């Protein structure tokens, strides 16, 4: 990836709507063939950024280059991109075949070539036998695939997808995630997908940009976002965290020494500097519960179980700890049992290895 030139280069791009800054000085490079996700809570500017890439929205500042070409003043239909909208608009009165053929017809592709290209696009999304159906004779997932075929048939260099799976039910959404990844591998087109669902982004994307009120907070592969979030915002948005406020007391070797109310002074491995008030955090699945006080070498808090939430494959145990902060511990239900081994009101210890502590300086 080192020598390759980005297919999309977003440089200091800003978008103001009157007094609202929807996108605030954003810079992102997307590499050719990448599956890239824009992730963040509602209203953080994801759709606005995608619409600026597609050319449906002008920029208030900054530059966008796609495939080596500056996009300023280039209309949507002259850009090497295609966009799949959130509401996957398909024409209800047209057959599946005609829906996919439409974009080719209006750009004057000869009739003889259209049939072959439409059939190819339909087979990519596994709808080769559905060409004569109308959209109302399809399931939601199949309609979504028609919308994808419509975008793919024009062979864009970049496909922009705005919450493409949000209208589907949970089970279908998971199946379509795998489909989208398979599809992207088979066509080799760069995908930029917008989602507010972190599971979706983590399971599909090669890299994701986490956005917060118009600003990009972190750009990294899913594993790095989860294991090394650069801020409390990213740690909290990408999965669950148990969080404690801490004060930096000093540095000792590769450890940061911090003072935590209710725990005293503790040392946690940390690269780089930190000072003043910070947060330390641990993921629920990286904690252990025990009836007895854990031995040396781990960080531990005493607590009382306040709730047990059963999720089938796992349970989430809520603990009121002696620091006054509520912690969650995730327990895998790997052995089948009919009664829980822990109950509300039990006194337990929650512990974790110091190396599993996230140090969050902002
Ligand atoms: N045409 C517009 N005029 C004025 N404000 C707008 C316009 N479009 C978007 N905004 C504002 O810009 C901000 C970002 O909106 P955007 O649609 O990009 O968010 P989003 O991240 O896609 O959110 P969601 O997940 O809810 O779709 C919001 O505060 C929104 O109200
Ligand atoms: Mg949106």
Quick: pLDDT tens for 118-155: 999 999 888 999 999 999 999 888 888 899 899 889 88
The residue out of 198, 214, 234 marking a domain boundary is 234
Q: Both 141 and 257 in a single domain?
A: no
Task: Name the residue with higher pLDDT: 4 or 339.
Answer: 4
Q: Both 318 and 186 in a single domain?
A: no
Q: Both 246 and 191 in a single domain?
A: no
Pocket test for ligand 1, best of 17, 57, 166 (most atoms within 8 A of CB): 17
In the prediction, which pLDDT does 74 show? 97
Residue 33: which of 187, 176, 204 has the closest Cα? Answer: 187
- The set of protein residues with a Cβ atom below 6 angstroms from ligand 1 is 17, 20, 22, 40, 42-48, 196
Q: Which atom of ligand 1 is nearest to the CA of 86?
A: 27
- Gap from CA of 162 to ligand 2 centroid (Å): 7
Domain harbouring 350, CATH code:
2.40.50.100
Cα–Cα distance measured from residue 223 to residue 202, given in angstroms and rounded to the nearest whole number: 8
Q: Both 219 and 289 in a single domain?
A: no
Residue 61: which of 9, 28, 26 has the closest Cα? Answer: 26
Whole-number average pLDDT of the chain: 92
For residue 201, pLDDT beyond 70:
yes
- Residue 201 corresponds to which tokens in the numbers above? 């982004």
Least confident of 29-38, 71-80, 81-90, 228-237: 81-90
The residue out of 178, 213, 234 marking a domain boundary is 234
Cα–Cα distance measured from residue 298 to residue 300, given in angstroms and rounded to the nearest whole number: 6
Q: Both 14 and 68 in a single domain?
A: yes
351 neighbors 292 (Cβ within 8 angstroms): no
- Structure confidence by residue, pLDDT tens digits, 5-56: 999 999 999 999 999 999 999 999 999 999 999 999 999 999 999 999 999 9
- Gap from CA of 49 to ligand 1 centroid (Å): 10
Domain harbouring 171, CATH code:
3.40.50.300
- Structure confidence by residue, pLDDT tens digits, 54-64: 999 999 999 99
The domain total for the chain is 2
319 neighbors 305 (Cβ within 8 angstroms): yes
- Residues spanned by the domain of 336: 240-360
223 phi and psi angles, rounded to 5 deg? -60, -35
Q: Both 166 and 254 in a single domain?
A: no
Task: Name the residue with higher pLDDT: 173 or 283.
Answer: 283
- Structure confidence by residue, pLDDT tens digits, 290-313: 999 999 899 999 999 999 998 888
Q: Both 19 and 165 in a single domain?
A: yes
Q: Looking at the domain assignment, is residue 340 inside a domain?
A: yes
Where would I find the beta strands (DSSP E) of the chain?
8-17, 20-30, 35-39, 61-66, 69-70, 81-84, 158-162, 190-195, 207-212, 215-220, 242-252, 255-260, 264-269, 277-282, 288-290, 299-310, 314-321, 326-332, 347-352, 358-360
Q: Which residues surround ligand 2, an ion (CB under 5 A)?
A: 47
Cβ neighbours, 10 Å, residue 324: 9
Cα–Cα distance measured from residue 203 to residue 201, given in angstroms and rounded to the nearest whole number: 6
Q: Looking at the domain assignment, is residue 1 inside a domain?
A: no
- Gap from CA of 106 to ligand 2 centroid (Å): 28
Q: Both 217 and 125 in a single domain?
A: yes
In the prediction, which pLDDT does 88 show? 65
Q: Looking at the domain assignment, is residue 3 inside a domain?
A: no
Cα–Cα distance measured from residue 79 to residue 151, given in angstroms and rounded to the nearest whole number: 13
Q: Both 204 and 73 in a single domain?
A: yes
């Amino acid at each position: 990836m080192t020598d390759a030139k980005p297919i999309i280069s977003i440089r200091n791009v800003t978008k103001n709507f009157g007094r609202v800054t929807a996108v605030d000085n954003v810079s992102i490079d997307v590499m050719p063939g990448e599956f890239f996700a824009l992730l963040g809570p509602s209203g953080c500017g994801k759709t606005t950024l995608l619409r600026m890439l597609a050319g449906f929205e002008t920029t208030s500042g900054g530059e966008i280059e796609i495939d080596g070409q500056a996009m300023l003043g280039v209309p949507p239909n002259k850009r090497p991109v295609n966009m799949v909208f959130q509401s996957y608009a398909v024409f209800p009165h047209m057959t599946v075949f005609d829906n996919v053929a439409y974009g080719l017809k209006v750009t004057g592709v000869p009739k003889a070539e259209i049939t072959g290209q439409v059939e190819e696009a339909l087979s990519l999304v596994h709808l080769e036998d559905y060409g004569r159906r109308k959209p109302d004779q399809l399931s939601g997932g199949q309609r979504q695939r028609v919308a994808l075929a419509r975008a793919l048939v024009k062979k864009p260099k970049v496909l922009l997808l705005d919450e493409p799976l949000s209208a589907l039910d949970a089970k279908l959404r998971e199946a379509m995630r795998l489909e989208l990844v398979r599809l992207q591998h088979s066509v080799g087109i760069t995908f930029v997908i917008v989602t507010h669902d972190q599971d979706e982004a983590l399971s599909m994307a090669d890299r994701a940009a986490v956005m917060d009120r118009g600003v990009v907070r972190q750009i990294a592969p899913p594993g790095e976002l989860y294991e090394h979030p650069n801020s409390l915002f990213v740690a909290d948005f990408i999965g669950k965290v148990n969080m404690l406020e801490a004060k930096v007391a000093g540095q000792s070797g590769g450890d940061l020494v911090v003072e935590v109310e209710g725990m005293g002074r503790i040392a946690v491995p940390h690269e780089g500097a930190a000072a003043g008030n910070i947060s330390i955090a641990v993921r629920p699945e990286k904690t252990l519960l025990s009836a007895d006080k854990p031995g040396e070498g781990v960080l531990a808090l005493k607590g009382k179980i306040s709730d047990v939430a059963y999720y089938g494959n796992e349970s989430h145990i809520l603990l009121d700890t002696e620091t006054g902060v509520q912690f969650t511990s995730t327990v895998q239900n790997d052995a089948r049992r009919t009664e829980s081994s822990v109950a509300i009101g039990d006194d337990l210890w929650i512990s974790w290895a110091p190396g599993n502590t996230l140090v969050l300086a902002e």
